[in-house]
């Protein structure tokens, strides 16, 4: 099968490179689903600064803020990752496909409906 889109934007140093399982277009995700070493460094620096800022008010308890920040960082990275997962060419979302195939199919159908077309891969292929 030919890729739906062969002239795709080339990402610099993508974290993940793959082919869309539905439309065979080359895909790239620029962020990792997990925190990188750089993220941890940012986390520690932010935690140190906020702990120092909160220390006069909360004392030792201000160090608990690192856990809140950690959660916020994890969430931000995951949200960023998930945003890049759906295929911009055919609407295929791998995260939904793993959870619920029906929802994933519906998302592809919605994607094409928004474009005012029917999904090219939804119809049976002519031999
Ligand atoms: Zn696709």
Q: Distance from the CA of 84 to the center of ligand 1, in angstroms?
A: 12
Distance 79 CA to ligand 1 centre (A): 20
| CA 27–ligand 1 middle distance (angstroms) | 8
The CA 2 to ligand 1 mean position distance, Å, reads 12
pLDDT in tens, the chain (127 residues): 677 877 777 777 888 899 999 999 999 999 888 899 999 999 999 999 999 999 999 998 898 888 999 999 999 999 999 999 999 999 999 989 999 999 999 999 999 999 988 776 654 444 4
Give dist(CA 107, CA 92) in Å, integer: 7
Spacing, Cα 53 to ligand 1 middle (Å): 47
Angle at 123 between CA 120 and CA 127, to 5 degrees: 100
Question: What's the pTM?
Answer: 0.72
| The length of the chain, given as a count of residues | 127
In the reported structure, the alpha carbon of residue 104 is separated from the centroid of ligand 1 by a whole-number distance in angstroms of: 12
Q: Give Cα separations from 33 to 2, 13, 52, 65, 113 (angstroms).
A: 29, 15, 30, 23, 30
β pairing state of 16-19 and 26-29: antiparallel
């Amino acid at each position: 099968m030919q890729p739906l889109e062969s002239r795709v934007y080339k990402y610099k140093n993508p974290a993940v490179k793959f082919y869309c399982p539905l439309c065979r277009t080359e895909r790239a995700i620029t962020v990792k689903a997990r925190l990188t070493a750089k993220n941890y460094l940012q986390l520690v620096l932010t935690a140190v600064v906020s702990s120092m800022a909160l220390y006069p008010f909360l004392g030792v308890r201000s160090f608990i803020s690192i856990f809140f920040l950690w959660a916020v960082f994890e969430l931000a990275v995951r949200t960023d990752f998930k945003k890049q997962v759906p295929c911009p060419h055919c609407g295929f979302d791998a995260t939904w496909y793993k959870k619920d195939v029906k929802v994933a199919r519906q998302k592809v159908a919605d994607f094409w409906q928004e474009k005012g077309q029917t999904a090219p891969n939804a119809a049976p292929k002519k031999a």
